[in-house]
Amino acid sequence: MNDQIDISIVVPVYNEGPIVHNSYDIIMKELIQHAEKFEIIFVDDGSVDDTFAHLEILALKDNRIKLIKLSSNCGSHMAIRAGLSYAVGRCACFIACDMQEPPYLIYKMKAELSENYNIVWAVRNSRKDSVMTIIFAKLFYWMARKVVTHNIPPSGASMFMISDKVLTALNQYEERNLTLEGLFATMGFKSAYIYYERKKRIMGNSKWTLSKKLKLFIDFFIAYSNIPIRFVSLMGIFFSIIGFFWSSYIIFRAIISRDLALGWPALISILLVGFGVTNISLGVIAEYLWRTLDEARKRPKYIIEKLINIE
């Protein structure tokens, strides 16, 4: 790690336009209060507006601003990984451009980082989002703690601070379909937690579409747990047992009462349940197969189109 840089801050952006100037001002207001050297790495995640032009203006007036432009939209987690791969600080963190996570958390997390703790999570005490968003978030993290690991906070985290040791380990991971929360929770490094109130979004719009949230949900459980495929196996055993006893009942009834007219409703119900279970099972298996193919092709996780102020 570079001895001259104390902290690297990665900021993923996508179609933020002039908002990046506000984000820069808010972050800088916090950083200049501390006598430490820093770098801010903005990662343009394939924006199709003038976001990168605004970032270039910032980089021209301040060489502590490093820019990475990705050739296509790869998602915020991949954009953060791209930024972290160029981070040279003794520690690194990332923060969203919308500033829902207050920048004062940067040095609050850094104060917790030590020989004993290599990862610091900024955990939400509460969040000012829509009711449905809060409900689904609580359900997601409840399932994640049950299925993946209890190291994940019940209310989740959107901001982390990691040591150079974790940063080195992170850059060794080659998987494409993973989430940073799941990865940090399962790497084995000791973690510390700080708590904050997540602010209401005041700048820009959320880029987390339903399809992106769904992919994150699937990646989280398939990348870090064998529970989905184990569930399919157990479900197959369960319905096989039910089928065995049901068949035994049918045979017994045919022998004893010679009454086979059980009716179409029962037959249709059994068929629908059977087809439903089969399709769910095939879907889960297909998700694993697709990710195996995706990794086996060895395609680059992202393509960097342009670097500014990065050697």
pLDDT band at residue 163, thresholds of 50, 70 and 90? very high
Residue 160's alpha-carbon distances to 63, 287, 310, in angstroms, are: 24, 29, 23
pLDDT by residue (tens digit) across 65-86?
A: 999 999 998 888 899 999 999 9
pTM score, whole prediction = 0.76
pLDDT average, residue stretch 111-140: 79
Q: What is the pLDDT of residue 174?
A: 83
Q: Which structure tokens are listed for 7? A: 């902290």
Best mean pLDDT range from 87-96, 176-185, 200-209: 87-96
Q: What is the pLDDT of residue 208?
A: 60
170 Cα distance to chain centroid: 14
- Residue spans of the domains in the chain: they are 7-203+300-308, 227-296
Is it the case that residue 33 has pLDDT exceeding 70?
yes
Q: What is the pLDDT of residue 197?
A: 81
CATH numeric code, 7-203+300-308: 3.90.550.10
Is it the case that residue 1 has pLDDT exceeding 50?
no
Per mean pLDDT, which range of 37-41, 59-63, 192-196, 305-309 is the poorest? 192-196
Q: What is the pLDDT of residue 274?
A: 76
Q: Phi and psi at residue 166, in whole multiples of 5°?
A: -70, -40
pLDDT band at residue 187, thresholds of 50, 70 and 90? confident
Pair 152, 144: CB distance under 8 Å: yes
Q: What is the pLDDT of residue 40?
A: 96
d(CA 42, CA 70): 11
Q: Which structure tokens are listed for 220? A: 């989280």
pLDDT by residue (tens digit) across 109-123?
A: 999 998 789 999 998
Q: What is the pLDDT of residue 2?
A: 47
Q: What is the pLDDT of residue 210?
A: 64
Pair 302, 83: CB distance under 8 Å: no
Best mean pLDDT range from 181-190, 210-219, 279-288: 181-190
**235 vs 45, more confident:** 45
Is it the case that residue 246 has pLDDT exceeding 80?
no
Mean pLDDT of the chain: 82
Is it the case that residue 309 has pLDDT exceeding 50?
yes
**86 vs 263, more confident:** 86
Q: What is the pLDDT of residue 299?
A: 81
Is it the case that residue 281 has pLDDT exceeding 70?
yes
